[in-house]
Structure 1
Amino acid sequence: MITILGGTFAFLHPGHKELLKAAVQTGNRVVVGLTTDEYLEENKRYGKVPYEERRRRVAEYLESLGAEFEIVPLTSREGNSMTGKEYDCIVVSRETYSRAEKINGARKRNGLEPMRILVVPYVIAEDLFPISSTRIIEGEIDEDGRRIKPVRIAVATGNSLKVEAVKTVFSSFMSNISVEQNSEFNTEENQPMGDQVIELAYERAIFSLKDYDYSVGIEAGLFRNRFNDTYYDVHCAVVIDRNGELTTGFSSGFQVPESLVREVKRGLDLSSAFEKHQGTAGIGAREGLVGFLSDERVLRSDLIAESIRNALIPRMKPLLP
């Protein structure tokens, strides 16, 4: 039986290697359709890496895996994938999954068995976007996925704690970032509660997205525990990227004293409620209520950073379709 895959392989980057490795691991003989120079001239933007050089790179990598393989010229998008009788499996990325389904539809119409579709997850660059030849050619990342151009991140907030938390968390993933604060967002809510917290975090992120790589909205508010009618202070972070993908994360929650909850229900925000009871202003821009209650064992900046980190977790391991 034969496993097939096709591509340009202008750069043999980590994403390409995962595709080739997955094909070899099927245990079948591997046939790689490699786009010709003529096809690239008409259909692609991948520069002038000659066919023979691309073929050599792919062959050397497959040889290093001990594969039984053949590399054939690919002069059209589908090649002979719709008619090859011995083809048992096709290896694709999430981006090309729908194309494989169409190929299988054509095989059925041709009286052939559909191929098993093996979808290989994207390999993520350090900026948490997929590695691609296009991005390498455009000079955004190098062949190993390291960011060349700064990752531009916007934060809709007037609170420097949130800005610093974004810098801290994103710089733990990415070596080259630029964080810009947008203080123009205004909210009519004194102290959001429940779903309002998530909605405002989302609105903040949308407000500042524009042409940035990422926009981050962070909001804190009270969530009710209906089993004992207590309220917890929780931070929510919403991260939206340039492709419109949205991910959300929450911090740990801590129980808020009932005396402060009563003041919030009367219309004060949590910092103002604390000031009324303790005579100390601006705690939300410093250690936070959690810092006061925990004798600074936990700080508000810790909870903000936790929510941002948790919002980035789904981006670390892309899901299959």
Structure 2
Amino acid sequence: MNSKRYNKVAVGGTFDKFHDGHKKLLSTAFELGEIIEIGVTSDEFGGLKGDIDSCEERMGNLKSFFSDKSNFVVIPLNDAYGTTIYDSDFDAIVVSEETEPTAVEINEIRVSKGMKPLDIVVVSFVLAYDGNPISSTRIRRGEITRNGNFIE
């Protein structure tokens, strides 16, 4: 695990069916950053993934989970990059293995604009009982619980 501390850290996702993988990703961001900006895909952008909970509900779940913290903001995302390609105050981005390529794209855009690239912190997947990653898709399909357990 990266032990470096950052002033401002970005993390983003759909965060549908809030599960243990999301918790690990977000907890990592809080361990590393003083200020955390959590981007949540908007209904329009996130809707591309299928039948998901509303952006308002997903943002509310995050605020509830981190109700003991005050060093974060939750914003809607209308694209894959959010404010990271405009805000030069970010120092790092926390991503999953699945979204690492987007972080690389963000850095390419930032560098092309004369901004410093972000440190990319990749968080490994949390695995379900069967050794496959916990995902919102699998939860929606009824394959696993939010903790990755078998549904009986």
The equivalent of 2:108 in structure 1 is 105
Rounded to whole Å, the distance in 2 between the matches of 1:13 and 1:92 is: 15
* More divergent stretch after superposition (48-57 vs 101-110): 48-57
Rounded Cα–Cα distance in structure 2 between residues aligned with 1:79 and 1:94 = 19
Of the candidates 40, 44, 47, which is equivalent to residue 49 of structure 2? 44
| Unpaired segments ≥5 residues, structure 1 | 150-321
What amino acid does structure 2 have at the position aligned with 1:2?
A: K
CA contact (8 A) 2:80 2:102 kept: no
Question: Alpha-carbon deviation of 1:80?
Answer: 2.4
SS at match of 1:39: helix
Question: What is residue 137 of structure 2 aligned with on the other side?
Answer: 134
Between the two proteins, the alignment pairs up a number of residues equal to: 146
**Structure 2 unmatched ranges of 5 or more:** 1-6
| Mapped partners of 1:27, 1:83: distance in 2 | 19
8 Å CA contact 1:20–1:62 kept in 2: the answer is no
TM-score (norm 1): 0.44
Q: For 1:127-206, what aligned pairs fall within 5 Å after superposition? A: 127-148=130-151
Q: Distance in 2 between matches of 1:98 and 1:52?
A: 27
Larger radius of gyration: 1
Partner of 2:34: 28
1:10 corresponding residue in structure 2? 16
1:123 aligns with 126
Greater RCO structure (CA 8 Å; 6+ sep): 2
- Residue 60 of structure 2 corresponds to 56
- Find the aligned partners of 1:62 and 1:114 in 2 and give their Cα distance: 28
User: What TM-score do you get using the length of structure 2 for normalisation?
Assistant: 0.90
One-letter code aligned to 2:105: K
Give the equivalent residue in structure 1 for 2:92. Answer: 89
- Identical columns (%): 38
Post-superposition, which runs of at least 4 consecutive aligned residues in structure 1 deviate over 2 A? Answer: none
Q: How do 1:242-257 and structure 2 match up within 5 A?
A: none
Give the partner amino acid of 1:144: N
Kept after mapping to 1: 8 A contact 2:81/2:106: yes
